[in-house]
Every structure is written in C-alpha cells, then in structure tokens.
Amino acid sequence: MSNVTLHIVRGDEQTGRTVEDYQVPYREGMSLLDAVIWLREHQDPALAIRYSCRSANACKECMAVVDGKPGYLCSLRAVPDSEVRLEPLPSLPWIKDLATALE
C-alpha cells in the first residue's frame, strides 16, 4: 500500500514552530485536505486546520503553503509515495498549526 508523507508545521505564536512528520495511507483521488482530515480522524484530533466546502474551492479557508507555494489543500491532489511540506500562510494572523485567521 502507498503512503503520503506529510511534514506539517505545528504550534502557535506562544509555543513556536515545530515540524511533525506523518504517514497517511494513499487513496485514489485523495486531496491534501483529505490527507490532513484523515490525520485528524485517526492520529491527532488536535491538529488545527480551517476548511468548509472541502472540494469546491469556494470557501477559500483551506489555503496553506504547500512545498513553499500557496495553494488550496482541497484542490491539490496527493501523490502516492510522495513527501509534502505544509505550513500556515505567512500573510495572515497565525492561530495554530495550519489554521490562520480569515481577513
């Protein structure tokens, strides 16, 4: 079975940043948001992320920095046996982990 390795920036303004590494089982058609939601449901319910529509690119809440570039996690597909670094957007106030405040 294939996995996707996620390197996710964790923390908040008080605790500072750390990078945690996770393995998520790959599913055909899985988005990066699906992978993060899987982590929350199966490994770490405290992992903070903001999203609403999950796929329509309508709410604009799931934006994060993906391998150094901003993108919508719900519209970016996971690639089997790949590694991806996820960080909160630097242009918005940081709440926790991948969650930033909406403007």
If binding is defined by CB under 6 A, does position 99 make contact with ligand FES? no
DSSP readout, the chain? --EEEEEEEEEETTTEEEEEEEEEE--TT-BHHHHHHHHHHHT-TT-----SSSSSS-S---EEEETTEEEETTTSBP-TT-EEEEE--TTS-EEETTEE---
Query: What's the min distance (Å) between Cβ of 95 and ligand FES?
Result: 16
Query: What's the min distance (Å) between Cβ of 1 and ligand FES?
Result: 26
If binding is defined by CB under 6 A, does position 51 make contact with ligand FES? yes
If binding is defined by CB under 6 A, does position 57 make contact with ligand FES? yes
By the criterion CB under 6 A, which residues form the site for ligand FES? Answer: 33, 51-54, 57-62, 72, 74
